[in-house]
Structures are given as structure tokens and as C-alpha cells.
Amino acid sequence: MTELEDKYELLSVEVGERADRVATVAIERPDARNALNGQVRTELKDAVRSADDDDRVRVLVLTGGEGSGAFVAGADVTEFADRGVVEQREASERPRVYETVDDASIPVIARVNGHALGGGCELAQACDVRIAQEDAKLGQPEINLGIMPGGGGTQRLTRLVGEGQAMKLVLSGELIDAAEAKEIGLVDEVHDAEALDDRVYELAGKMAAKSPIALEFAKQAIKASSRTGLEEGLDYEAELFVQLFATEDKDEGIEAFLEGRDPEFTGE
């Protein structure tokens, strides 16, 4: 067992067990429904960065540990009780776990196997693709505590679902089921419990078979589409596209296509 798989108290990590070159990081805090306390956040940031740097890993799946009934039920509210402005400003310094996930060079899939609320919903939003179990609930209930989303829920959520839907969820604190979340664009696919893993790891495996350089560049270009103007985004896409022509993976991909075989990408 390597360091990545055996270095955390509140996470479990698997590499290559469900699909080649795919790592799974599961939050294992069932007594608190996987709530994000300080230790979980610290370990999760380290695990994402470690997976991103691991040559064995081309795709990362984030999920909640089995038996908790949750992906992540939210932030650990007990940590908020005695915090004032100064303490919370320090706790909110970036990069937080959300930026760490968002900034990963490898694709990150959220396997939403239960409730994703508050910080848990924001964690899912920071991932690149969200696949939910049909009985999952999602939402931003922070308003019920007299606060608001502070982990990207007013920004990433709006980009995913539009301003009106974001206003409805954030200002009401209502929870929605996975089917409605898919309808508004908060999650990308919904499956029953039996089919969830088959689909998550089928998709992760397909991604992991691609050139890791092309995956990284394509991910960067797509993210730029909602963060830059159209002309700037087109220029950025074109530059990344051109840079891929300096890679051995580009040569391998073209040769494999012309020879009628599957490519074997090395990341070079």
C-alpha cells in the first residue's frame, strides 16, 4: 500500500481498483454525515494535490464514504459557534478545499451518493462533473443559520444553474432532489444506487484512457469559457490547441487513428 492510499484518518483512498488510472477519495466521517471540519478539509486538500501529482492517476472521483447517507452534509457548524470576523476571515483564506478541487489539473468527478448540502454542495460544484444517486438531496441551506454560502455557492452555482435558480436555492434554503438538480443543471446525471458506480467508473475510465496533457488543456479551456470574454476565450483555446502539437501524445493519437488501433498515451 502506498502513501497516498494510507495516510489519512478521515479519508479512504483507492487507486486503480475501480478503473485504470482512476483514484477514489471518500470522506469517512459517518458519525457527522461527512461534515467538513478542519481535519477533513486539510486531509482532502492534501489528497487532491497528491492525486494530482501521482503519475498513476489521471482522473479523481470524490465521494462520501458508504454508510453515512451523505456525500457531504455540509460544514461542521459546531466550528462556527465561537468564531468572530477575524477567525472566520483566517479560515476563509484561499486556497480552500473548493479552490484546490477546482484547480486540479486532472478531471474530478463528484459521485454524489447522498445529501450534498451547504459546503458539500459547494464541494460538488467545484468538481468538473457531478453524477448523483437518485435519492440524493442538494441545496444551500446556510440562510437558515443567518449566514450565506461562503465556499463558492453564490458564484459556481450561478454559473451552473443561472441567476434565478441560484437565487431561489440560496435565499430560500430549500433542498431539491437529484431529479430537479439535473433538470436545472446542478448535476449532470442521475442514477439509481445499483447503476451509480457502473456509470461513474465507466465515465472516469473513458477519461483516464485519454492523453493527460489533452485532458488538462481541455479542462482549462472549458473553465475559461465562463471566466473570460468570448474573444479572450477563443484565443486561449487556440493557443492550447496549438501547444498540443508539440506533444508525443498528439503524434500517437493521430498514428493510432490512421492505423485503426487504440492509442497508448503516455503524457509526453
Task: Compute the distance between CA of residue 20 and CA of residue 208 in angstroms, rounded to an integer.
Answer: 7
Start-to-end CA span in the chain (Å): 27
Specify the length of the chain in residues: 268
Annotated catalytic residue, options 17, 122, 183, 231: 122
Half-sphere exposure of 48 (CA within 13 A, CB side): 28
174 is catalytic: no
Burial code of 138-163, b = ≥16 C-beta within 10 A, e = fewer? bbbbbeeeeeebbbbbbebbbebbee
> Are residues 249 and 213 in contact, defined by beta-carbon separation less than 8 angstroms?
yes
Of the candidates 121, 127, 125, 122, the one whose C-alpha atom is nearest the C-alpha of residue 109 is 127
Backbone torsions φ then ψ of 137, nearest 5 degrees: -120, 140
Alpha helices, DSSP H only, in 21-162? 38-53, 85-91, 97-103, 119-126, 156-161
Task: Compute the distance between CA of residue 97 and CA of residue 40 in angstroms, rounded to an integer.
Answer: 9
Annotated catalytic residue, options 28, 43, 142, 216: 142
Q: Between helices 212-224 and 248-259, what is the axis angle to 10°?
A: 110
268 is catalytic: no
Task: Compute the distance between CA of residue 206 and CA of residue 229 in angstroms, rounded to an integer.
Answer: 30
Of the candidates 151, 143, 70, 162, the one whose C-alpha atom is nearest the C-alpha of residue 110 is 70
Q: Which residues are the active-site residues?
A: 122, 142
